[in-house]
Chains A and B, each alone.
Chain A
Amino acid sequence: MEIHRYEKIWLAGALLLIVGFIATISYGAVGAGIEMVDDDGGQIEPNAISDHPKFSEPGTYKTGENEYDVYVVAYQFAFDPGTSDPIRVPANSEVTFHITSRDVVHGFEIVGTNANTMAIPGQVATITVEFGEPTEYGLLCHEYCGSAHHAMEGSIQVVPQSQWNESMVVN
């Protein structure tokens, strides 16, 4: 098959670009440590969330020195916690969110960050993020979940260590 010289150069450049993309993404995953949401969170019975040891009482749990777990249940059309009460985490902490849905598919996006995952009934999504200085983030559902989807929002308060107290954790 006759391939023009310029075409060969282009082909080589295209393959180089592709391999380069795969290499940078692999570096992002392994070197920079950006893990994908995966199957680590396990499964949950969406109709029996109240039987779950943590999701039955969603909120912030302390798991170690500056390490916290936050359990969030998404449902039409709110996050618990997040909507009626903000999610509270201390400043300069490492937080693992565990997110599930008790009805339809929802989304979980901390506005202005790359903390972004799906909430699928029957599955638990886990993402670990680092919080820095005290501030407040918006929280929104980014997957269409029904007629009042646009009202599904909330907030995350990153509380100064000095103001952090036992009443802000569940355990």
Chain B
Amino acid sequence: MATFVDRYPDEAKVVQASFAVAFIALGIGAFFGLIQALHRTNILRVIDSVDYYTLLTAHGVLLALVFTIFFLVGVFTWAIAKGFERPLPDIRLTWAWFGLMTTGTVLTAVAILAGLVPEIPMSADVLYTFYAPLEAHPAFYIGLAMFIVGTWMAGADWFLAYRDWRGDNPDERIPLQPFMVLTTMIMWYVSTLGVAVAVVFFLIPWSLGLIETVNPLLTRTLFWYFGHPVVYFWLMPAYLLWYTVLPKLAGGRLFSDPLARVVFVLFVLLSTPVGIHHQYVDPGIAEGFKFIAMTNTMFLLLPSLLTAFTVVASVEHGARQRGGEGYLSWLGALPWRDPAFAGMALAGLMFAAGGFSGMVNAGMNINYLVHNTLWVPGHFHMTVGTAVALTMMAGTYWLLPQITGKTVYSRPIGLFQVVLWFIGMVFMSNAMHRGGLLGIPRRTAEPQYQNFDFAAAVGSVGEIRMQIAFGGLLLFLSVVFFLFNVAATWAEDRVDTPVDDTIPAPLSPPSGAPLILDNLALWTGIAVVLVVLAYTLPLASIVTDSGLLGSSPGFPVAISLEALAEAAASALPHVSLDAAAGLRPLDVAAEAAETLEVSR
């Protein structure tokens, strides 16, 4: 019996290449994550705190953008070819977008990592949100732009495949997996427009010196116009696997095809007009706009709550097919020894917890308590860091055999690895949430201050730090086992039937879904209208208030240590330059800056 790699060898190569880039990024990003977890908890500091922000930028970009999105383009390419049962229209186009995305990634990664090498005059320690007027090297922004354009070309590739398929099948329903791919890409086109405008029209010319200033609130708002839908872009491949693969692994079939389509349509409509919920405490944006973003965000809970029902119902159906009985004892009949199933099920479980902490974030008045605290990374390590990342790792145990023709090297290692991830994240994310409630900030190399201590009502700050460091260690080990298992699988010999790759038909078939659900042009139109309604007035008022180009010059992150130490030395004559440069120059400079008498 042939599998994907036999039927679509050219497409399989692209999927393999995409996964390879994704997994390399995962390995590097996870390693940096370990260093950060040990550093900010003050358990082991192997780097200078200045370099912490270089690693943090790389961690965010490599994991949240490169790992997730390269895995996504791999899965989507697989889903399009498999779902439409035909090769992609022109494999050269497919390689072209892969090449562009990879080149952009390398450019951005070099710009970031050069920050670790003082001899190279390049730095991009601006974190993955790159808020202006902190200014990175132009290569950082140009690489990101290339990466985004690459994803646009990938979407075009899949829409061309859809057009060809539609030509041959004028009256058929769009198969479910390609339907999910196409709706996700519509959302992506609508939402990436914001970041593309921010990067191409403002940040690239500004970093090249072509324009003098930017409006920081404008570029920030354009970033968040994209910054929330991007989390659904990460999540949609996980949803695709939960809806179409998880029920099969559980021994059953999808509960309802029509409901799955409804969910994806809701994401097209509601993902973008919510971005201002990341700016609840930003000045310069009227409360009414924040209220609109809040209500839209709350309604965005609906597709995820529907997903919880459909996925659990499908899994329960599978368990009953396997002989499971009772109200809850059917859970025991599930294939918990299968790493693909166990990983996805645990990921879904943690997504429920992450969803609840997200509901807290979305509540605009309670958000004051947690905004920019450690609570926030605690939240998104449960969502993108587990719901998405663990589903992708677990899905790999089912997908990799199809695209390589090789059986998984070790299912026990796979099972151990996914469970280890779950346990590590339980430690790390619960402690991060609790730390956030104490006011411990996120994105901070040394959250240990001179003027005050954080007071813990339950447990202690030391105990929270230990949990974060221990959890981070388990997560890193999990990635090491995963990458070993993947590499060992890849090194095996091809076999005829590496995995059962059939996907059974849903219980409620697509024929029950109203035809209008497949009207992609209609949903695109409504999505655009909603975005125009939610964003025209805020953007217009930001531009009216401070101008299109604002008045903020760049503040390059590549601060020369000598210059800073000299400034400190000249301000405080008793701090000698040697002492400043010899010890920890930035800390000395910062201390000096603190004691400076402010002239104004």
Give A contacts to B, CB under 8 Å.
Answer: 1-4, 6-7, 10-11, 14-15, 17-18, 21-22, 24-25, 28-29, 32, 34-39, 41, 43, 45-47, 49-50, 56-57, 76-78, 80, 83-84, 99, 103-105, 107, 109, 111-118, 120-126, 136-155
B449 touches A138 (CB 8 A): yes
Q: A78-B593, A117-B283, A122-B546 are in contact. Are A2 and B365 (CB under 8 A)?
A: no
B439 touches A112 (CB 8 A): yes
Q: A123-B283, A125-B283 are in contact. Are A144 and B559 (CB under 8 A)?
A: no
CB A30 to nearest CB in B, in angstroms, measures 10
B598 touches A111 (CB 8 A): no
Q: Which residues of B contact A103 (CB under 8 A)?
A: 133, 555
CB B491 to nearest CB in A, in angstroms, measures 41
Bound state CA distance, A121 and B283, in angstroms? 10
Contact with B587, one of A43, A125, A151 (Cβ below 8 angstroms): A151
What 7 new A-B contacts, CB under 8 Å, besides A38-B286, A56-B600, A147-B586? Answer: A21-B359, A28-B363, A77-B594, A112-B438, A116-B281, A120-B283, A150-B447
**In the complex, B508 has a CB within 8 A of chain A:** yes
Q: A4-B256, A34-B365, A120-B283 are in contact. Are A77 and B590 (CB under 8 A)?
A: yes
Q: Mark B152-183, 1 if CB is under 8 A from A, else 0.
A: 00000000000000000000000000000000
Q: Which residues of A contact B280 (CB under 8 A)?
A: 36-37
Residue picked from B53, B313, B600, most chain A C-beta under 10 Å: B600
Q: Mark B266-309, 1 if CB is under 8 A from A, else 0.
A: 00000000000001111111110011001100110110011001
Contact with A105, one of B220, B299, B368, B442 (Cβ below 8 angstroms): B220
Contact with A120, one of B216, B259, B443, B557 (Cβ below 8 angstroms): B216
Q: Which residues of A contact B290 (CB under 8 A)?
A: 36, 38
Contact with B514, one of A1, A80, A116, A150 (Cβ below 8 angstroms): A1
Contact with A36, one of B50, B364, B439 (Cβ below 8 angstroms): B364
Q: A10-B309, A18-B299, A114-B368 are in contact. Are A105 and B594 (CB under 8 A)?
A: no
**In the complex, B357 has a CB within 8 A of chain A:** no
A3 touches B259 (CB 8 A): yes
Q: Which residues of B, 410-467, contact A by the 8 Å Cβ criterion?
A: 438-439, 441-447, 449-455
Bound state CA distance, A138 and B454, in angstroms? 9
B450 touches A84 (CB 8 A): no
A124: nearest chain-B partner, CB-CB: B283
Q: Which residues of A contact B514 (CB under 8 A)?
A: 1
A7 touches B256 (CB 8 A): yes
Bound state CA distance, A152 and B363, in angstroms? 28
CB B460 to nearest CB in A, in angstroms, measures 15
Contact with A153, one of B50, B134, B442, B451 (Cβ below 8 angstroms): B451
A151 touches B552 (CB 8 A): no
**In the complex, B205 has a CB within 8 A of chain A:** no
B443 touches A144 (CB 8 A): yes
Stretch of B138-146, B238-246, B369-377, B400-408 at the chain-chain interface: B369-377
Q: Which residues of B contact A105 (CB under 8 A)?
A: 131, 133-134, 216, 220
A115: nearest chain-B partner, CB-CB: B368
A15 touches B302 (CB 8 A): yes
A17 touches B550 (CB 8 A): no
Q: Which residues of A contact B454 (CB under 8 A)?
A: 111-112
B600 touches A139 (CB 8 A): no
B284: nearest chain-A partner, CB-CB: A123
CB A80 to nearest CB in B, in angstroms, measures 5
Bound state CA distance, A113 and B290, in angstroms? 22
B309 touches A18 (CB 8 A): no
A36 touches B281 (CB 8 A): yes
CB A46 to nearest CB in B, in angstroms, measures 6
Q: Which residues of A contact B597 (CB under 8 A)?
A: 84
Q: Which residues of B contact A109 (CB under 8 A)?
A: 372-373, 439, 441
B304: nearest chain-A partner, CB-CB: A14
**In the complex, B513 has a CB within 8 A of chain A:** yes
B595: nearest chain-A partner, CB-CB: A84
A38 touches B294 (CB 8 A): no
Would you mind naming 30 contact pairs between A and B with Cβ atoms under 8 Å apart? A3-B256, A6-B309, A6-B313, A7-B313, A10-B309, A14-B306, A28-B365, A29-B364, A39-B283, A43-B546, A47-B551, A104-B133, A105-B220, A112-B438, A116-B281, A122-B550, A123-B283, A140-B439, A141-B441, A142-B443, A142-B444, A144-B127, A147-B50, A147-B53, A147-B559, A147-B586, A148-B587, A150-B447, A151-B594, A153-B449
A43 touches B53 (CB 8 A): no
**In the complex, B49 has a CB within 8 A of chain A:** yes
CB B117 to nearest CB in A, in angstroms, measures 15
**In the complex, B541 has a CB within 8 A of chain A:** yes
Q: Which residues of A contact B44 (CB under 8 A)?
A: none
Bound state CA distance, A109 and B164, in angstroms? 55
B134 touches A43 (CB 8 A): no
A55: nearest chain-B partner, CB-CB: B600
A25 touches B598 (CB 8 A): no
3 A-B pairs with the lowest CB-CB distances in the bound complex, closest first: A138-B452, A125-B283, A151-B590
B373 touches A37 (CB 8 A): no
**In the complex, B487 has a CB within 8 A of chain A:** no
A121 touches B133 (CB 8 A): yes
A149: nearest chain-B partner, CB-CB: B444
CB A122 to nearest CB in B, in angstroms, measures 5
Bound state CA distance, A123 and B49, in angstroms? 30
Contact with A39, one of B363, B450, B541, B552 (Cβ below 8 angstroms): B541
**In the complex, B61 has a CB within 8 A of chain A:** no
Q: Which residues of A contact B438 (CB under 8 A)?
A: 112
Q: Which residues of A contact B587 (CB under 8 A)?
A: 148, 151
A80: nearest chain-B partner, CB-CB: B598
A9: nearest chain-B partner, CB-CB: B309
Q: Which residues of B contact A25 (CB under 8 A)?
A: 294, 363-365
Q: A43-B546, A122-B546, A145-B134 are in contact. Are A150 and B281 (CB under 8 A)?
A: no
A120 touches B217 (CB 8 A): yes
CB A32 to nearest CB in B, in angstroms, measures 8
B598 touches A84 (CB 8 A): yes
